[in-house]
Copies of this chain bind each other. A is one copy, B any other.
Amino acid sequence: MKASIDDVAKRAGVSTATVSRAFSRPDMVSEKTRTRVMEAAEQLDFSVSRTAGILKSGRSYRVALLVGSGKIEWFTARIIEGLNEILREAGYDLVIYPIGDTDARKSFFSDLPVRGNVDAVVVSSFAISHPEIERLTTTRVPLIGLNITSDDFDASVRIDDRAGIKLIVRHLAALGHRNILYMYEQFTSTLGFSSFNRIYGFTDAVNEIEGLRGRTVAVSPGDSIVNVAMSELFASDDPPTAICFHQDSQAIPLLFKLRRYGVSVPDDVSITGYDNSTFAEDAGLTTVRQKPYDMAVEAARKTLALIEGRPIKVDHEIFPVQLIVRDSTSGPRPAGLSKIGVCD
């Protein structure tokens, strides 16, 4: 059926070695022969099979990407784009392994389907445990972390989440806020390591500032973040004057809805996000920018270097975060939300 290198060789009247060379090292074959080979190949619809070469070279030309969920949200989409961009042109395929629920996770680390089948493993932003990393190590291939810090990785690229959230907290404090809230969705077991740092970082940053109070609130996955936020705003006589969200994608729905509920942003309450993801700019959301595409490109470069045994300048790289101030933050009302609807 499918033409093999032998068929081409026969048709072109040369040996298989010549055909192979015509494709992989054109300069080692005479102009004339090469043309003849290429014509024969074209007629037979022949393309070199990577599989055979792979077997020969011992390299799989495959890179695994481990992600914490089957859902490809903003961050993961950018990561895939960045990795694929660099890896593809180097001849590597990116293969995505979602390690979502507990079962998938257990079976992945027990079967370890990547062992012997990929040249590197990139782990993106989920709380991988030490035993799991240990297990991955038995694959004997480079391990690269994306928004994960661990000495067990051969290389990593991440942002400084503590610094990022600190920018937010200080920005709000400078505006005059003294009572702020941090909201995040309750995580499953696959919570990203980076995420923990944002939450802890919030508390630390708050404690650094005299007179500033900050509280963190976890919203259960089933609950509407809007309703929880509203409850927090109206629950006490001393409501927060600003709410910081763990991700833009949690803040954006609130921005859409608050208006209808009689709360104005930023007049009644300031709102911040994190990521500078899709629609953050359109929404006028004050946020912290991170650039996962750029991080993935760098991670891919490190990955290739490690695979090919080239030295890498920086093993563990920290990408900058930047505060993006927009219209969702301003100074608090003198008396907070209790003044809503009352003309000053």
| Residue A310 CB within 8 A of the other chain | no
Contacts of A45 in B (CB 8 A): 115, 138-140
Residues of B within 8 A of A113 (CB): 47
Q: Tell me which residues across on chain B come within 8 A of A46, comparing CB atoms.
A: 115-116
CB closest chain-B residue, reference A140: B2
* A257 lies within 8 A of chain B by Cβ: yes
A84: CB under 8 A from chain B? yes
- A279 with B282: CB separation less than 8 A: no
Q: List, in ascending order, chain B residues with CB within 8 A of A112's CB.
A: 47
Q: Is A93 an interface residue (CB 8 A)?
A: yes
CB-defined contacts of A70 to chain B, threshold 8 Å = 81, 84-85
- For residue A84, which residue of chain B has the nearest CB? B96
Q: Which of A125-166 contact B (CB under 8 A)?
A: 138-140
Residue of chain B at shortest CB distance from A112: B47
Instruction: Name the CB-closest residue of B to A256.
Output: B282
User: Which B residue sits closest to A88, measured CB to CB?
Assistant: B97
Which residues does chain B contribute within 8 Å of A322, judged by CB atoms? Answer: none
Asked if A253 lies at the interface with its beta carbon under 8 angstroms from chain B, I say yes
Give residues 98-136 of A contacting B (CB, 8 Å).
98, 111-113, 115-117
**Is A48 in contact with chain B by the CB < 8 A criterion?**
yes
- In the complex, whether A343 has a CB less than 8 A from a CB of chain B is no
In chain B, what residue has the closest Cβ to A91?
Answer: B113
A30 at the interface (CB under 8 A from B): no
Expressed in whole angstroms, the Cα–Cα distance for A182 and B94 within the complex equals: 38
- Quick one: closest B residue to A82, CB to CB? B70
- Contact check, B60 vs A51: say whether CB atoms are below 8 A apart: yes
What 0/1 pattern do residues 202 to 229 of A give for CB contact below 8 A with B? 0000000000000000000000000000
CA distance A94 to B65 in the complex (A): 12
Kindly state whether residue A62 has any CB partner on chain B within 8 Å. Answer: yes
Inter-chain contact B81/A117, CB cutoff 8 Å: no
A116 and B98 alpha carbons, distance in the complex (Å):
27
Query: Is A71 positioned at the interface, with any CB of B under 8 Å from its CB?
Result: yes
Task: List chain B residues, Cβ under 8 A from A24.
Answer: none
Cross-interface CB contact of A256 among B54, B55, B140, B279, cutoff 8 Å: B279
| With A71-B81, A84-B98, A94-B95 as contacts: A55 and B51 at CB distance below 8 Å | yes
Q: A93: which B residues are within 8 A, CB to CB?
A: 62, 93, 95
Instruction: Give bound CA distance, A256 to B70, whole Å.
Output: 30
A and B contact pairs by CB, cutoff 8 A, 6 listed? A2-B58, A51-B117, A62-B93, A70-B84, A72-B80, A84-B98
A residues with a Cβ closer than 8 A to B are: 1-2, 45-52, 54-55, 58, 60, 62, 70-73, 77-78, 80-81, 84-85, 88, 93-98, 111-113, 115-117, 138-140, 249, 252-253, 255-257, 278-279, 282-284
**Which 10 pairs, one residue from A and one from B, show the smallest C-beta to C-beta distance?**
A253-B282, A47-B115, A72-B77, A45-B138, A49-B116, A256-B282, A47-B116, A93-B95, A50-B117, A51-B54
